[in-house]
């Protein structure tokens, strides 16, 4: 089912035509079953979380054969039915090529939830991402409160119906032996509880 906010999107086009248009567009547009639509800008918290996640993952993965990419890289779903610009994607199966505008084999995808896109990221996008055979983790980070949700699956397992939830700044997010704490992701957002004065 096509989301209601696509009602004012461009006419139905095939995927190759979408890629042709996207290569010539001054703004980013995502693709969903024949429709393309523009991406809106995010809040300062959204930007801070995206930067923090990029830095943290880059540091943790610098000694591994995994590659961190930001929202400039398009992720294609199987059969080219949809293509999205996630806030962050990590590729451990195959390094994206330098001249390519898109990739098909991410290991982890991160989306930062905003009021206008929350439902879309949690439902439509999630279902399409889960069709990607290489994907092992889908991490959703809230931009309005300190909270994150993680869907994970082993290579031979199906995706769980419900994610793991994290809401304490000291919580660690289990991502294949990577230790990622919420307080590090949210350090620049102003959403963390104020530190108590040790002299009080």
CATH of the domain at 80: 3.90.1570.10
Residue 87: domain span: 43-185
Question: What's the pLDDT at 96?
Answer: 83
pLDDT mean over 117-124: 91
Count structural domains, the chain: 1
Structural domain includes residue 71: yes
Q: What confidence tier does 10 reach under pLDDT thresholds 50, 70, 90?
A: low
Does the pLDDT of residue 66 top 90, yes or no? no
Structural domain includes residue 31: no
Q: Which of 40, 58, 64, 74 is nearest to 143 (CA)?
A: 40
What residue ranges in the chain does DSSP mark as E strands? 29-32, 35-38, 67-70, 74-76, 82-84, 88-91, 102-103, 108-113, 137-142, 148-152, 164-166, 172-175, 178-181
- Angstrom distance (rounded) from CA 144 to CA 116: 12
Q: What confidence tier does 181 reach under pLDDT thresholds 50, 70, 90?
A: confident
Structural domain includes residue 146: yes
Give Cβ neighbours of residue 89 (< 8 Å, ≥ 6 apart). 68, 69, 73, 75, 103, 106, 108, 109, 110
Structural domain includes residue 11: no
Longest Cα–Cα distance of the chain, Å, equals: 64
pLDDT mean over 29-37: 93
Q: Output the six-digit token pair for 199.
A: 């002299």
Structural domain includes residue 21: no
Question: What's the pLDDT at 196?
Answer: 62
- Angstrom distance (rounded) from CA 82 to CA 39: 15
Instruction: Give the predicted TM-score (pTM) of the model.
Output: 0.86
Does the pLDDT of residue 200 top 50, yes or no? no
What's the mean per-residue pLDDT of the chain?
Answer: 87
Structural domain includes residue 27: no
Structural domain includes residue 66: yes
pLDDT mean over 62-74: 89
Structural domain includes residue 17: no
Window from 2-11, 42-51, 85-94, 128-137 with minimum mean pLDDT? 2-11
């Amino acid at each position: 089912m096509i989301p209601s906010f696509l009602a004012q999107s461009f006419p139905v086009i095939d995927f190759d035509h979408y890629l042709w248009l996207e290569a010539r567009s001054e703004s980013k547009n995502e693709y969903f079953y024949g429709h393309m639509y523009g991406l809106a800008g995010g809040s300062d918290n959204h930007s801070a979380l995206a930067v923090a996640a990029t830095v943290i993952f880059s540091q943790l993965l610098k000694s591994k054969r995994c590659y961190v990419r930001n929202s400039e890289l398009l992720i294609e779903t199987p059969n080219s039915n949809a293509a999205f610009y996630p806030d962050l994607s990590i590729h451990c199966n195959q390094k994206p090529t330098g001249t390519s505008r898109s990739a098909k084999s991410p290991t982890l995808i991160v989306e930062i939830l905003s009021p206008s896109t929350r439902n879309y990221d949690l439902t439509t996008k999630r279902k399409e991402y889960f069709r990607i055979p290489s994907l092992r983790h889908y991490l959703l980070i809230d931009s309005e409160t300190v909270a994150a949700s993680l869907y994970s699956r082993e290579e031979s397992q199906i995706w769980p119906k419900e994610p793991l939830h994290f809401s304490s700044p000291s919580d660690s997010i289990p991502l294949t032996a990577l230790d990622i704490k919420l307080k590090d992701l949210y350090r620049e957002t102003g959403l963390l509880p104020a530190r108590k004065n040790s002299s009080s």
